[in-house]
Structure 1
Amino acid sequence: MNAMPEPIPFKPDWPAPDMTISQPARPVAPVMSAEEFALTFGAWAEWVQTAARVKGTPVDYVAAALLGTASAIIGNARWATPWQGWKEPPVLWVMLVGDPSAGKSPALDAVLDPVKDIERRLSEEYKERRREWEDRDEIAALALAQWKTDAKRALAESDDTPRKPDAAEAGAPPMRERVTISDVTTEKVASLLAASWRGLLLSRDELSGWLGSMDRYNGGGDRPFWLEAYGGRSYTVDRKSSPEPIIVDHLSVSILGGTQPDKLARLLVNTDDDGLLARFLTVFPEPVPLSRPDREIDSDKLQAAFERLRALPSAFDDAGNKRPFLVPFSDAAADALQEFRGECRKWEAEAAGVFKGHIGKMPGLVVRVACVLAHLDWAAMPGAPFPDEIDQRHVGRACFLVGDHLRRHAFRAYGASEPPEEVRNVRKLAALLLRDKPRRVTVRDIQRRELGGLQTAKQIEAAASALEQADWLRRVVEETGGRPRTFFVVNPRIWEAA
């Protein structure tokens, strides 16, 4: 490879260069201190940190997966109400953003493996209930056949027909309880929720395929369904195969999964800005060093906590129908939330695009996260009474997590869109100058580097012109008696600034 030209004498009249032109579009991932992490996640901080070390994954992935999964298990049993007229389900949508080797799947496994054990138990219980129902159904079929025979005879003999016996009805077959789903139709989701009432967790290793395909076959009909699934409101699904619609009292589905930065970037460009992406709590940490685990995950502790959350009872309305138990905020907690709303208003004024929409959702997210944190605290203390209010401590932790920490993760993720080719070329040339430290450079010098996007004179001229405007370069034209010779002098202050 040819060397760059020899340095030219330093000139002291160079202005300060604009170094922002060389900075990547993606900011550095925020990191909590050990003290902040312990205060935020309380009784679960040590468990999350251990699971992250064992799985070789960032703690943010495990912590976010824990919140998302717990939100689904609590489901419609407990909703939070900061004040009169405002109530929020604990439903959280969580997206883990990172490269394929960043550790997203191991983090999901750490939290979801105990859920699989719960679902295996639920499956065994369902099989037993199904066998018992089938036995009753066979007896009911015999009783029904005998009743029909007796009724025909009575009609033939003009006698009073016998009343249909209770034994002729086996009742509805038992429902197979579910905690998680992976790839089902909206009609199937509605059927499961109508039968189970509590709520579900949609878990996907890769969310981009699900997000990108929901409009593919039905002209966007799935998007309103999922927007409603975030709010926990009642929902009705009309079926072609049946005159009876599916009526869901509380359409509550938490979502948990991962995606890669480039796939998220394409979604940001191609997806309608209807607030769907803005609803996600997004974590986009830096990868952690590879290491061998030196301890084990206490999966039994997490499974026991999830079992306690599943056992949370619902409330009932005057007609005896299930409804969410509303957990109120204390006065101090409501005051803290109101102060946070004011901060969000300031952040929102400076934001744009999906990130602006995300900030608009943050007060509601704080309510939801505070509810989940309060119940995770309770689930870690066997024998403790049910949480009867959400206090200032829970809201303060949620405000810090959502407003300070995860807001910066969201900015990092939503700013990860691939920049235009012209911007990439400018940054590529800037990186070359910072690395090789030449005092002057020509178009031909750069062409010899054979860098993608900086191969033609037109591409290089465009990138160099941008760096001229940023005071990185000065164009010099030398008269040679023939065709003028052009080169670019490099501002030596770029290396000081870098």
Structure 2
Amino acid sequence: MAGRHGRISCQGRKRPRFLAAGQGGGDFTVNRKLSERICVENCAISVLGGIQPDKIKALKLGMSDDGLLQRFTPISIHRSGNGADIAPDLATGERLANAANAIADAANGTLFRFSPKADAELHAVEAFKAKEIARPDASPTLRQWLDKMPNEFGRLSLVFHFIEHYGASGAVADTLPAAVIGQGTAERARRYLTEFVYSHALTFYLKDLGASTMDEHALWVAGFVLARGLAAISSRDVYRVYPALKSPEKRSLIVATMRVLEMHDWVKPAHIDRHGVEDRWTVNPAVHDGRFAEIAATERRRRDGVQESIKQGAAA
């Protein structure tokens, strides 16, 4: 954290406090010699900011070992086009400000719980976490982030519950939300976490923090898609033409390879086999809209050259 007052370090003895405060670490007391004691009833720290990928790469070794990095929700933003001037939504802005103030002023100590149907959403998050942790291309830091997902779901559900209460039209600021969190709220929190936040976490941990072991395979498959102008591709297509994944014991890596391309929005799963494994994907039409035309031409020349060399070798 940095500002005009200088960098605030979270190293050494301060680090455990930051780790605890990231999730609401209970009370915290500071005894000072020359001033009165400072008591924080609920020491919770929220950080919102931006950082360049190159900077975070330099910090990752010191931030990921104890889970500090995984306490952040990464959002990867890329510029698209030249932007547009959009008039501010004043009504929504006012409702947002009212909700934020009401949440900040809400009394502590109230217990909230899920309804039975909402609790099923937690089980869905647990199942999602287990499935994604088992991915062969998941890095250790991504697995650490996934391991915290159920707890994050609980916090997000409560945040959504408060926002929906205080952000509603005609909401009364001095009333608390219902003690029971309904299924609709829990479902929205689950979808936000698993469909939106997780896609950014994939990009952050597998791309911004370093390449995964599947990147080389994904790059080859991407070149094959461009060279052939494919609108769809299957596992069979891959292992028939790509020697590195041709052997039966290597074919299980095809799904992980395609997940890398899926992460970059090149493909989407189109079919699941009888074992529940993805085996066919559709290609994003934008891949063939001309933006990669030069790369596609280079790939075609390279692959044609390889085939010609093979033919000449066989003829000799």
| TM-score tier after normalising by the smaller chain length | 0.5 to 0.7
After superposition, give the CA deviation of every residue in 1:14-62 in whole Å (9 maximum; x if it has no partner).
xxxxxxxxxxxxxxxxxxxxxxxxxxxxxxxxxxxxxxxxxxxxxxxxx
User: 1:96-495 counterparts in 2 under 5 A?
Assistant: 183=3, 214-215=9-10, 220-242=12-34, 245-293=37-85, 295-312=86-103, 314-315=106-107, 323-350=108-135, 351-384=138-171, 386-388=176-178, 389-415=180-206, 416-418=208-210, 490-492=302-304
Work out the CA distance in 2 between the residues paired with 1:348 and 1:255. 26
Q: Does the Cα contact within 8 Å between 1:230 and 1:252 map onto a contact in 2?
A: yes
What is the aligned-residue identity percentage?
24
Q: Does the Cα contact within 8 Å between 2:64 and 2:70 map onto a contact in 1?
A: no
Work out the CA distance in 2 between the residues paired with 1:377 and 1:362. 22
Work out the CA distance in 1 between the residues paired with 2:17 and 2:133. 27
Shift, 1:310, TM fit = 1.7
Shift, 1:375, TM fit = 2.4
Structure 2: where are the runs of 5+ without partners?
Answer: 228-241, 246-300, 308-316
Q: Does the Cα contact within 8 Å between 1:344 and 1:360 map onto a contact in 2?
A: yes
Structure 1: where are the runs of 5+ without partners?
Answer: 1-180, 186-208, 316-322, 438-467, 472-488
Work out the CA distance in 2 between the residues paired with 1:184 and 1:345. 43
* TM-score normalised by L of structure 2: 0.59
Superposition CA RMSD, Å? 3.9
Higher relative contact order (CA 8 A, sep 6+): 1
After superposition, give the CA deviation of every residue in 1:405-425 in whole Å (9 maximum; x if it has no partner).
2112111111223559xx99x
Task: Give secondary structure in 1 for the equivalent of 2:111.
Answer: strand
C-alpha change, 1:367 and 1:418, in structure 2 (3 Å) is: closer
Shift, 1:184, TM fit = 9.5
C-alpha change, 1:494 and 1:411, in structure 2 (3 Å) is: farther
Shift, 1:285, TM fit = 3.7
Q: Does the Cα contact within 8 Å between 1:378 and 1:387 map onto a contact in 2?
A: yes
Work out the CA distance in 2 between the residues paired with 1:409 and 1:228. 24
After superposition, give the CA deviation of every residue in 1:277-308 in whole Å (9 maximum; x if it has no partner).
11111111432211331x41123532343224
One-letter amino acid matched to 1:257: G
Task: Give secondary structure in 1 for the equivalent of 2:73.
Answer: strand
Shift, 1:365, TM fit = 1.4
Work out the CA distance in 2 between the residues paired with 1:239 and 1:275. 28
After superposition, give the CA deviation of every residue in 1:97-141 in whole Å (9 maximum; x if it has no partner).
xxxxxxxxxxxxxxxxxxxxxxxxxxxxxxxxxxxxxxxxxxxxx
One-letter amino acid matched to 1:214: S
One-letter amino acid matched to 1:265: K
One-letter amino acid matched to 1:336: E
Work out the CA distance in 1 between the residues paired with 2:305 and 2:152. 45
User: What is the count of residue pairs matched by the alignment?
Assistant: 225
Shift, 1:382, TM fit = 3.0
* TM-score normalised by L of structure 1: 0.39
